Structures are given as structure tokens and as C-alpha cells.
Amino acid sequence: MSAPVPGTVPGTGPSRITSYQRNGLTFDVLDDGPLEGTPAVLLHGFPERSTCWRDVAPLLHAEGVRTYAPDQRGYSPRARPFGRWNYRIGALGDDAIALIEEIGQPVDLVGHDWGAIVGWSVAARRPDLVRSWTAVSVPHPMAFLKAVATSSQGLKSWYMLLFQIPLLVDLVGRFAPQVFLSSLKQIGMTSAEVARCRHEILEYGALPGGLAWYRALPLMGSAARGTDVTVPTTLVWSDEDAALGRRGTELTPPHVTGPYEFVELSGVSHWIPTQAAEALARAILERRASVS
């Protein structure tokens, strides 16, 4: 029996998945590309939403890929539970798993920044749902923790401690947004990207939910370290990333037991999906082709 077409309703043709539910929360989804294309799930990071894939997705569509890009927990207006306990990595991963189960077949999974952390978790926990995995910017969680202890990564991650202070960054984003936005420009966002962040994160009310992901870090325990990944994996990293150094990428291979490739982009900042869309799409498609 052939696999079901994602979004198919019995007795009708394929349909779009514009939202899905889990545990009383409703997540918005950008579902685009050929209706009968092979499915790929694209997970955004902080502080961005599903639209960060706007330049990558069309390149995938042209190669027969149907993309599903959710606004994740804390970002979708109907999926903003209160309290950092609700933003543990297990819950975030379960949200992505619920979308894949809604799609109805294994997917090519892609994640940037925090979306990569979620993706590492999903690929490790549910390899049956992941055809291939492309991590963007962020190494395997255990490799990241080792890098913090053995390199300058700890200094690069200083902002994670700042984000732990209750309400501080939330209030800055609300009453002094230019301070928050200028910090993003300092780590590589363009003026257009900063303007989009103002509109799609600050004005949309998504900043507190995004910060809650960081504030849940002390509650994650062993889940934050992750387990080894068996699915075919590509890690894409850029050498001008101000937040993530090279050491984590060097420590990642022992944590991937399946086929693995490392792609380094030269002269690109942390914001790979919007600033190196063609190179990223090429890496995704090559990983996808390797398991076709």
C-alpha cells in the first residue's frame, strides 16, 4: 500500500494543513509547495517565526518538496502557555512530533537555532518519523555542552544567563524595543530582518514565549543533552556565527551514528536561512537525495 498523501482527507483530494492541535494548544502552519510533494518540516529559531524560511522554501518546492513550517510553542497566538515548565525540550519536541503525525508519513526535518535543538531531540527520539535531518547552526546538544566546558562557547552564550532574569528582556522589548533590536543587528541581522523581527515578534507578542524556551533550560535535565542520532544527518554552520563557535561542530560526529556530513558556509552570519538560502537549500536537497 502506498503512503498517504500529506493532508489528504478520505474521499477528497489533498488539502493544506494550516494549523494543528496538541494538548489544547493550536499551532499555525505555513504549508506550501506541491500538494503531492515529499514532506519537509522546517523549524524556526529565536527570535523568528515560520517566515524565516521564506527564501529557502521556494527552492525546495521547485524540487518537488512540500514544506510545513510551524510557528512553534510561544509563537503561535493560540499556543502560548504560561510558565517556563511548559517550554521544556520534551514538550517542544512533542509539538513537532504531533505535526509529523498529522502529516502522516516520515519527513525530511530541518531546524535552525532553537529549531535545531528541537530537531535533534525529534531525530533521536523518533527516527521512524525522520527520513533525513538537517541541523542549521546548532551542533548536537551534548557537543554543545562539551564545547561550553572546553572552549569560548561559554562566553558566546552569555546572553542565555541574561535571559534568565524574569521580565527584564520582556520589558526591554516592550518599552525600549530599539535596544533589543539593535542587539540583533550587532550579531548579523540586516536592517530588513530587524524590521521584520519588530513586526513579527515584538508587535505580535511572541517575545515572552520565545524567551521561555531559554528560561526552561534549568528544568531540562538529561533531555537537554540528547542521545545519539541514527538518521542521515547534515550539520550546516557558518564561520561568522557570533553565537555558536566551531568547537561544537567538531564534537558532533561521535553523536551521529548514521550517515553524516558537515557543511561550512564562509562569510555568513548566524542567520543562515535568510542570508544563505541557496546554499542551505542545496544542503537540504543533497541530504534528502541521499535517502531517496
Domains of the chain are 19-289 (3.40.50.1820)
CA distance 90 to 159: 23
Amino acid type, 53? W
pLDDT in tens, 92-131: 999 999 999 999 999 999 999 999 999 999 999 999 999 9
CA angle 59, 272, 117 (to 5 degrees): 105
Query: Can you give the pLDDT at residue 7?
Result: 55
Percent of the chain clearing pLDDT 70 (strictly above):
93
> What pLDDT score was predicted for residue 292?
73
Predicted confidence (pLDDT) at residue 83 exceeds the cutoff of 70: yes
Assigned C-alpha cell, 27: 499551532
The string of pLDDT tens digits covering residues 176-228 is: 999 999 999 999 999 999 999 999 999 999 999 999 999 999 887 665 566 89
Cα separation, 171 vs 187, in Å, equals 21
One-letter amino acid for residue 197 of the chain = C
pLDDT tens digits, one per residue of 145-163:
999 999 999 999 999 999 9
